[in-house]
Structure 1
Amino acid sequence: MPSTPHISRRDLLRAAALVPAAGALAACAAPASQPAASSSAAPAATSAANPFGVGDKPLEVWIFDGGFGHQYATDIHQPLFKSKYPNVEIKHNVTKEITKILQPRFAGGNPPEVIDNAGADMMDFGALAQDGQLQDLSPLLEAPSWDDPNVKVRDTIDPSVIEIGTYDGKFSVLGYVNYIHGIWYSQKVFTDNGWEVPKTWDEFLALCETIKKSGKMAPFTYAGKHPQYAYEPLLTMAAKIAGHDVLVNIDNLEDGAWKVDAMKTAAEAMAEVGAKYLMQGTAGLDHVQTQTAQNKYQVAMLPCGSWLENEQKSTTPDDFAYAMFPIPDITGSDAMPYGTLHTAPGENFMVSARSAHPQAGMEYLRAMLSKKAAGDFSELVTTLTVVKGASEGREISPGVNSVTQAVAAAGTNTVYYRVFAWYGQLNDECKAATGELMTGGLTPDAYLERMQKKADEIKNDSSIKKFTR
């Protein structure tokens, strides 16, 4: 497994735009020079029931007070942990300002055990890894799962969690929420109008034309002020056409990676949507405005991630019935089958290596990864976790049901990219260029030429650290 490299403050700041709303990434200044590590608690005796040697010292937990709130911690995760460790006092804390509140604790050598390091003020994971602040969670992967001692934790979670959470060769960050990307719509709207979910791109364009001619609403929109909502389906489309190596090559800054045929086909497809089927005014709207327009039945479809339903719960009509469909088949010979999804773990949890009781911190994460905890979480905040099958058989929201079915259907046919978190300048360029592509300011060829030029500049700049996967 390749090592996840140090990510600079600049890159993480720019990466904030990649994950809207709850779970959005941003960074802080690198932690100050650290004193000698304080002595952590000596582990208690380990056993199958207590694989890390949890003792009786307190467990301090800090939760980011964002779109998911913190009730899931107090009502789900912590009671489950206490059911096995009643003598461990849990000190629960909530903040929107992770860095402001906790960075002094790290500098002082007394960090808390568990941190939901998320939000606009999250700490820089790369800097924390570089300073030896992240507990190696590899033993967590090899531990027996909370539910079944015969199944390891690693076999209960989405494999991408491990690669994306690896820093300096060690699994150190647990992405708990499984962000699934696709095209979102109202099941009520589609049923009432007799519209069917398209499985090919020709069917998608025909549906857009039908909706447009109906005069009832616009066919399509995206967050025009945040064009990453448009480059996400474009890149997913290219991977579907020619295979996930398209994205691996883009991540690795391979020569000509942006100018392959699959990227041109995808850019042409998105440009056509931009030219013919966008809701009026899309370019000037943010994600909340476009999503609210959909709740008001002003537009039929938009690309987004699986946080959408929870984010829009205050404006969504009761009978709206969110659902998501994957990128349709583009050609008659796509390398990846219908149902292929872009998935990425988020809402990142860490255990502090220099905390007083890191053993309890790892056990807390093990409890979080139980099917009960993950399923209860999904019911409460209408979002999938990275735990396989945790929402099966539960009374959950229409959107989560739809995503659950899509993930099951996709199986191993999932893709992701990391290039924009690694190279902030390229992320900036892609957002700007994609915005112009969607509004007709760039032709598909000019768009890809611009992106390749920027990728080459970064590749040839010796001052920029290069990453690979």
Structure 2
Amino acid sequence: MSSTPRLSRRQLLRGAALVPVAGALAACATPAPKTPASSAPGAAKQLEVWIFDGGFGHKYATDIHQPLFKAKYPDVAIKHNFTKEVTKVLQPRFAGGNPPDVIDNSGANAMDFGALAQDGQLLDLTPMLDMESWDDPAIKVRDTLDPAVLEIGTYDGKFSVVGYVNYIYGLWYSQKVFKDNGWTPPKTWEEFIQLCEKIKKAGKMAPFTYAGKHPMYALEPILTTAAKIGGKEILVNLDNLEDGAWKAGPIKEAVTRWAELSAQYLMQGTAGLDHVQTQTAQNKYQVAMLPSGSWLENEQKTTTPPGFDYAMFTIPDVTGSDKLPYGALHTQPGENFIVPAKAANSQGGVDYLRAMLSKKAAGEFSRLVSTVPTVKGAGEGLQLSTGVKSASDAYAAAGENTLYYRWDKWYLQLKDEATAATGELMSGRLTPEKFVERVQKKADEIKADSSIKKYQR
């Protein structure tokens, strides 16, 4: 993980070490403005945009979204910026009361959505949903979006976070490698272990890896496995900080199984590698499988050899009596865009989002970065890459058996603790029993802390 220090919820956005306290408190006390009813940026002459430079890069903003916005508002100058360290770069701006106008708050170092909402730092985008969509005045913005975007992006009854991409999670592999070796994606845990053993004995590559420096990549399949075993309520209980939620039987079993797999089949040196390094190792045929999301193919496009042919499979059936059937998967809107409540040009920010959410913009985005946007119909008529097709097919096959969780966005301190504990677990330095105890302890601390806003689903 990044060495960027995390501030406590009480310190976050207060700017104790960043700006004079009086100024920070005054900024936090300022009432959050409402989105203007008009869809025109008015006299504003500049729009400041910050893009997370991750799996999708930032060229989509300069090549697709911003030209579309400028075509309607040519007099508004766009100040384009990008970073991999969103919190480090932009948290001081919030503390100082001068945040930019549009932010893609994504990546391992994203700002704490729960704290931003609690401090009134997010513009209420609900009025935007009832505005005309960018390309068709007869259709409202809300009717162009996957309904999950509205659910996931709502905090305390206010829609304030726009997830632009359907993240579809699974275990990723090369179709070429599997075909050349006669391997088949496993459908049961027994088949999964047998496949890992077969790969290990062949000696050509390691069976499994994950982003060692970003252990949330490993926690995702652990939690999906737990939900497979125990049902969706396992994840709902984590979100709601239910007593003992992290110590539930299905979570213990999932943690144990992945710890055992890691002990036997993990690529050597994984703990010291980041996501790009482990993904590149897969492109070099040094490892067979890794957990990731549907952004993977685009993120690795410069190192993926011809004919590699990305694909993913879902978490195998675990116990023979799982609550959820084979094919259940974790998917939820990601690549999260916000307009700060105190932005100098908040209405311009709203219109920038409207441009992004047009079918034209989302379709071109999908074509450029090989992914599945949350805008309805954005992928129509596109020739899908193998990875995107595999993820899209898995999503369609899952039907109602899709999963998501929100605790990691609501409670960043809990995410940090769970992430660190997962790294220790997968490296063999923490037992499954100690893992669930450690994370449960942090969840209990957050639940008991009256200064932290609690969310429910």
The reply to whether TM is greater than 0.5 is: yes
Name 1:5's counterpart in structure 2: none
Distance 1:351 1:463 in 2: 24
Matches within 5 A, 1:33-48: 33-34=26-27
Query: TM-score, with normalisation over the residues of structure 2?
Result: 0.82
Partners of 1:322 and 1:137 in 2: CA distance: 36
Counterpart code for 2:51: F
Kindly provide the amino acid, as one letter, of the partner of residue 246 in structure 2: W
Aligned equivalent of 1:154: 142
One-letter identity of the residue aligned with 2:229: I
Q: Secondary structure at the match of 1:303?
A: strand
Q: Which of residues 176, 179, 196 is equivalent to 1:191?
A: 179
* Contact 2:34/2:124, CA 8 A, preserved across alignment: no
Q: Residue 10 of structure 1 aligns with which residue? A: 8
Task: Say which SS state the counterpart of residue 8 (structure 2) adopts.
Answer: helix
Partner of 2:221: 233
1:10 aligned counterpart, secondary structure? coil
- Does the 8 A contact of 2:47 with 2:77 survive in 1? yes
Q: Which residue of 2 aligns with 1:318?
A: 306
Match of 1:347 in 2: 335
Residue 344 of structure 1: SS of its match in structure 2?
strand
Q: 1:308 and 2:296 equivalent?
A: yes
Deviation for aligned residue 1:106: 6.7
Aligned twin of 1:372: 360
Equivalent AA in structure 2 for residue 410 of structure 1 = A
Q: Distance in 1 between matches of 2:117 and 2:455?
A: 16
- Tell me the alpha carbon deviations over residues 400-434 of structure 1, each in whole angstroms, 9 at most, x when there is no partner: 22222222223343222232344444334433433
Q: How does 1:48-447 map to 2 (within 5 A)?
A: 52=39, 55=42, 57-58=44-45, 60-64=47-51, 66-67=53-54, 68-83=56-71, 85=72, 88-96=75-83, 113-118=101-106, 125=113, 129=117, 132-146=120-134, 151-353=139-341, 358-447=346-435
**Shift of residue 249 of structure 1?**
0.8
Q: Which moved more, 1:125-134 or 1:446-455?
A: 125-134
- Code of the residue aligned with 2:146 in structure 1: it is D
C-alpha distance 158-357 of structure 1, shift in aligned 2 (>3 A):
same
How far the C-alpha of 1:240 sits from its partner, in A, is: 1.8
Worse-superposed segment, 366-375 or 122-131: 122-131
Contact 2:113 2:409 in 1 (8 A): no
**Range that drifts further, 422-431 or 111-120:** 111-120
Query: Could you tell me how far 1:261 is from its partner in structure 2?
Result: 2.4
Q: How many residues are paired up? A: 441
CA distance in 2, matches of 1:282, 1:318: 25
Determine helix, strand or coil for the equivalent of 1:329.
Answer: coil
Deviates more, 1:420-429 or 1:319-328: 420-429
Gaps of 5+ in 2: 1-5, 13-17
**TM-score when scaled to structure 1?**
0.80
Q: 1:11 to 1:147 in 2, by over 3 A?
A: same
Amino acid in structure 2 at the alignment position of 1:10: S
Structure 2 residue matching 1:239: 3-state secondary structure: helix
Alignment check: 8 A CA contact 1:38 1:109 kept = no
CA offset at residue 206 of structure 1?
2.1
- Could you say which residue in structure 2 is the equivalent of 1:4? none
Stretch moving more, 280-289 or 112-121? 112-121
Any idea what SS the aligned residue of 2:304 has?
Answer: coil
RMSD (CA atoms): 3.6
Gaps of 5+ in 1: 1-7, 15-27, 45-51
User: C-alpha separation between the residues in 2 aligned to 1:203 and 1:256?
Assistant: 31
**Structure 1 stretch 231-240 or stretch 284-293: which is displaced more?**
284-293
**Partner residue in 1 for 2:15:** none
Shift of 1:82: 4.4
Corresponding residue of 2:3? none
Q: Higher mean Cα deviation, 263-272 or 61-70?
A: 61-70
**SS of residue paired to 1:93:** strand
* Residues 448-459 of structure 1 aligned to structure 2 (within 5 Å): 448-459=436-447
CA shift in 2, pair 1:291/1:369, >3 Å: same
Q: Is the 8 A contact 1:179 1:306 kept in 2?
A: yes
Indicate the SS of the match to 2:169.
Answer: strand
Task: Give the letter aligned to residue 368 of structure 2.
Answer: L
